[in-house]
Amino acid sequence: MQLDMHYYGTYVMARAAGIKSDAALIIAYAAQFVDDNAGKQEVNFKDAGKINAEATAHHAFDGKNLDENDQRQVWVPFHFLPGNEGSSFTKRLICRKNSIIAREMIEHNLSHSDKDYALELLGITAHVYADTFAHYGFSGVSSRKNKIINSSIEFQPLKPRINEYITEKEKEFRKKYKSETGLLTNIKSSVIEVASGALGHGAVATYPDRPYLVWNFEYEEPKRNSGLRKNPVTFLKGCEALHKMFRKFTENNFKYAESSYTQFSSIKSEVKEIILTQANKEDRILAWKNAVTKGKLSQNVGEEIPKYDENIWHNQRNSLDKKNYSRIALNKNVYRFYQAASVHRNFVLRTLLPKYGLVVA
């Protein structure tokens, strides 16, 4: 999913579920910052304190995607949570919608609701969970099972301008992949693969992340049809699942909860209409913002969704470097995000996946 869903959609689902606006903002920021925290960062303090922050993403054309360990440490736990279906290890790494593993991840992360980093962890959880509704059918490692027959991609009817728009975006995507990432090693062997076709959903560009698309394609190995992928249906289910998760969070965290909330059933049709909006990312964001301002997604007529700015948390981190006392980091959202990311990564890779016989890292 992209900014329209990970930040704006997440904020709306949190507010509708009865989470206070200031808490919903932190949750939504953390959900989107998973994608924007794309490099390892180091902060040093004069009292000898230090922050070593691990990446939770690598940009699609970042050469670090070629590092197998980064795929295991970043792509698997944060973007392509394994669904554990199939007989082979690589099949079981394929992401599945709302899997048992995803639900167990939620239970664990919600158990940390009393921690200072609870809201940031909830945002990270929202990102990972939402991505299972978009990235299903692909895994976060270099695998031939991610490759498709390029000529097989078919779309249900689109507005001519949108069809032209996404076609151009695909050309840009593949051009950047070809020039910047090159080749990578298959997770299971020393065979070298083309990065754009073997890692994640690179073979189908950004199509899984576009809410309005209804499409299908054929996998290359083994050759099989994907079946009709109805993004609007799965994205709507993803929104409902997020709303349910946020409601569960408020049950034991009254300090973050409003006195009332909005049932998802009462906003479902409006959310569906937004998801079906055939537009570029900026206009899809506008659809979320307009619906909120008009009170169509909650009882708060006139409310505005604060604009997302990734630099706020980056600047927050940068401002800590060379400061006298490391303890000042404890109250910063960006530090709490790093804490939450470590908790999530370690649980998924060291406890949750091994429980199902998946030793990934």
d(CA 251, CA 287): 30
d(CA 288, CA 291): 5
Rounded average pLDDT over 60-76: 72
Please, what sign has the CA dihedral across residues 238, 243, 248, 254? positive
Higher-scoring residue by pLDDT: 201, 252: 252
Two tokens, residue 258 = 């409003």
Rounded average pLDDT over 145-159: 92
Higher-scoring residue by pLDDT: 283, 189: 283
Rounded average pLDDT over 281-302: 92
Check residue 227 and give left, alpha or beta (phi > 0: left; psi -120 to 50: alpha): left
DSSP 8-state code for residue 39: S
Question: How would residue 174 be classed by pLDDT, with cut points 50, 70 and 90?
Answer: low
Do strands 218-219 and 224-225 pair parallel, antiparallel, or not at all (unpaired)?
antiparallel
pTM: 0.93
Rounded average pLDDT over 4-20: 98
Question: How would residue 95 be classed by pLDDT, with cut points 50, 70 and 90?
Answer: very high
Two tokens, residue 41 = 């960062």
Two tokens, residue 160 = 């001519």
Question: How would residue 186 be classed by pLDDT, with cut points 50, 70 and 90?
Answer: low
- Please give the single-letter amino acid code of residue 224: R
Residue 152, CA distances (Å) to 139, 170, 226 in order: 20, 14, 10
Nearest one of 343, 328, 298, 348 to 43, comparing CA atoms: 328
Two tokens, residue 112 = 């940390």
Domain ranges of the chain: 3-139+236-355
Helix 333-347 and helix 21-36, axial crossing angle in degrees, nearest 10? 60
Q: Contact at 8 Å (CB) between 315 and 300?
A: no
Is the confidence at residue 71, as pLDDT, over 50?
A: yes
Q: Contact at 8 Å (CB) between 209 and 134?
A: yes
Q: What is the mean pLDDT of the chain?
A: 91
d(CA 156, CA 154): 7
Do strands 224-225 and 154-155 pair parallel, antiparallel, or not at all (unpaired)?
unpaired
Residue indicated by tokens 């034991």 = 252
Q: Contact at 8 Å (CB) between 245 and 125?
A: yes
